[in-house]
Structure 1
Amino acid sequence: MIYHLLYPLASQIGAFNVFRYITFRSIYALLTALVLTIVFGPAMIRWLTKLKCGQYIREDGPQHQCKQGTPTMGGLLVGLAVVGSTLLWADLRNHYIWLALFVFTGFGAVGFADDYIKVVKKRNKGLSARAKFLAQLFVAGAAVTALIFEPVYSTKLSVPFFKYFVPDLGWFYLPFALVVLIGSSNGVNLTDGLDGLAIGPTVVAAATFAIFVYAAGHAGIADYLNIAHLPGVGEVTIICGALVGAGLGFLWYNAYPAQVFMGDVGSLSMGGLLGFISVLCKQELLLVLVGGVFVFETLSVILQVGYFKVTGGKRIFRMAPLHHHFEMKGVPESKIIIRFWILSILMALMALSTLKLR
Structure 2
Amino acid sequence: MLYYLFRFLEQFGIPGAHVWGYISFRALLALILALVISAWFGEKFIKYLKSKQITETQRDAKIDPFGVKKIGVPSMGGIIIIVAILVPVLLLGRMRNIYIILMIITTLWLGFLGGLDDYIKIFRHNKEGLPGRFKIIGQISIGLIVGLVLWFSPDAKINENLAIEKQDGKEVVVKHRPEATKSLKTTIPFVKGHNLDYANIMSFCGKYKTAAGWILFVVMTIFVVTAVSNGANLNDGMDGMCAGNSAIIGVVLGIFAYVSSHIEYAAYLNIMYIPGSQELVVFLCAFIGALIGFLWYNAYPAQIFMGDTGSLTIGGIIAVCAIIIHKELMLPILCGIFFVESLSVIMQVWYAKMGTRKGVKQRMFKRAPLHDTFRTQQEQLDPEIKYLFKKPKGAVHESKITIRFWIVTIILAALTIITLKIR
Q: Same fold (TM over 0.5)?
A: yes
**How well do the aligned residues superpose, as a CA RMSD in angstroms?**
1.6
Task: Give the structure 2 partner of residue 9 of structure 1.
Answer: 9
**C-alpha offsets along residues 112-145 of structure 1, whole Å, 9 cap, x if unaligned?**
0000011122111111011111111112211221
Secondary structure in 2 matching 1:132: helix
Match of 1:57 among 59, 63, 79: 59
Range moving further from structure 2, 302-311 or 256-265? 302-311
- Equivalent residues in 2 for 1:263-274 (5 A)? 263-274=307-318
* Equivalent position to 2:128, from 125, 130, 133: 125
Distance 1:320 1:177 in 2: 27
Residue 177 of structure 1 corresponds to 221
Q: Is the 8 A contact 1:52 1:120 kept in 2?
A: no
2:336 counterpart (292, 305, 310): 292
Quickly say closer, same or farther: Cα 1:165–1:232, change in 2 above 3 A: closer
Tell me if 1:140 matches 2:143: yes
1:304 matched residue in structure 2: 348
Q: State the partner residue of 1:22.
A: 23
CA distance in 2, matches of 1:136, 1:207: 24
1:162 aligns with 2:165: no
Query: How far, CA to CA, are the matches of 2:335 and 2:88 in structure 1?
Result: 24
Matched, 1:237 2:285: no
Aligned sequence identity (%): 39
Task: Say if 1:48 and 1:73, in contact at 8 Å, map to a contact too.
Answer: no
- Secondary structure of the corresponding residue to residue 275 of structure 2: coil
The reply on whether 1:110 has 2:113 as its aligned counterpart is yes
Asked whether the 8 Å contact 1:217–1:232 carries over to 2, the reply is: yes
C-alpha contact 1:148 1:155 (8 A) present in aligned 2: no
- Cα distance in 2 for partners of 1:306, 1:272 equals 26
Which whole-Å CA distance do the structure 1 matches of 2:26 and 2:51 have between them?
36
In terms of mean alpha carbon deviation, does 13-22 or 55-64 score higher? 55-64
Instruction: State the 1:59 CA deviation.
Output: 6.4
Judge which range, 258-267 or 162-171, deviates more.
162-171
| Paired AA for residue 154 in structure 1 | S
SS in 2 for 1:157: strand
Q: Verify the 8 A CA contact 2:139 2:222 in the aligned structure 1.
A: no
Q: Quick check: 300-309 or 73-82, which moved more?
A: 300-309
CA deviation map 1:128-171 (0-9, x unaligned): 01111111111221122111223424222321021315332212
Per-residue CA deviation, residues 37-84 of structure 1 (Å, 9 max, x unaligned), is: 111111100112233221221368555771011000001011001000
Aligned match for 1:319, one of 367, 391, 398: 367
Question: For residues 211 and 275 of structure 1, what CA distance do their matches in structure 2 show?
Answer: 15
| Contact residue 59 and residue 71 of structure 2 kept, 8 A | yes
User: Which range is displaced more, 155-164 or 88-97?
Assistant: 155-164
Equivalent of residue 86 in structure 2, options 64, 80, 83: 83
Q: Comparing both structures, which one devotes a greater share of its residues to helix?
A: 1
Q: What CA deviation, in whole Å up to 9, does each residue of 1:2-36 have, x standing for no partner?
A: 11111232340352222111121111100000000
Q: In structure 2, how many angstroms separate the alpha carbons of the residues matched to 1:224 and 1:59?
A: 53
- 3-state DSSP of counterpart to 1:198: helix
Count of residue pairs brought into register by the alignment: 358
Moved more, 301-310 or 203-212: 301-310
The structure that has the greater radius of gyration is 2
Q: Secondary structure at the match of 1:24?
A: helix
Q: Does 1:72 align with 2:60?
A: no
Partner of 2:415: 350
Give the corresponding residue for 1:198.
242
Instruction: After superposing the two structures, state which structure 1 stretch, 307-316 or 18-27, moved more.
Output: 307-316
User: How many angstroms apart in 2 are the aligned matches of 1:284 and 1:204?
Assistant: 16
When the two structures are superposed, what TM-score results if normalisation uses the length of structure 1? 0.96
> How far apart, in 2, do the equivalents of 1:65 and 1:245 lie?
28
Q: Distance in 2 between matches of 1:61 and 1:93?
A: 48
Equivalent position amino acid for 1:53 in 2: I
Point out the structure with the larger strand share. 2
Question: Gaps spanning 5+ residues in structure 1: where?
Answer: none
